[in-house]
Amino acid sequence: MISRHALAAGITVSAALFLGACTASDDTSTTETTAAEATAGATTAAPAETTTAAETTADRRDGGDPVFAAIDAVLAQHSDGIIIDIDREDDRDTYDIDVVVGAEVIELEVDADGTVREDEREDEDDDVAKAQAATVTAAEAIGEALDQHTDGFLDEAELDEDDGVLRWKVELDDADRNDLVELELPAN
SS (H, E, C) the chain: CCCHHHHHHHHHHHHHHHHHHHCCCCCCCCCCCCHHHHHCCCCCCCCHHHCCHHHHHHHHHHHCCCHHHHHHHHHHHCCCCEEEEEEECCCCCCEEEEEEECCEEEEEEECCCCCEEEEEEECCHHHHHHHHHCCCCHHHHHHHHHHHCCCCEEEEEEEEEECCEEEEEEEEECCCCCEEEEEEEECC
What pLDDT score was predicted for residue 31?
30
Q: Which of 8, 109, 15 is nearest to 61 (CA)?
A: 8
Residue 72 and residue 18 share a domain: no
* 92 and 176 together in one domain: yes
**Domain ends where: 63, 86, 113?**
63
Task: Identify the CA nearest to 179 among candidates 74, 95, 88.
Answer: 88
Q: Within this chain, do residues 148 and 126 fall inside the same structural domain, yes or no? A: yes
Q: What is the pLDDT of residue 124?
A: 87
Cα separation of 38 and 12, whole Å? 8
Looking at residue 113, what is its pLDDT? 87
Q: Which residues make Cβ contacts (< 8 Å) with residue 155, sequence separation at least 6?
A: 87, 88, 171, 172, 173, 177, 179
**Do 165 and 86 belong to one domain?**
yes
153 and 103 in one domain?
Answer: yes
pLDDT on residue 91? 82
Q: Residue 151: which domain range? A: 67-186
Average pLDDT by stretches of 10, the chain with 188 residues: 43 38 37 33 36 42 76 95 95 92 96 92 92 96 94 95 94 92 95
pLDDT of residue 81: 96
How many distinct structural domains can be found in the chain? 2
- Choose one of 63, 97, 112: the last residue of a domain: 63
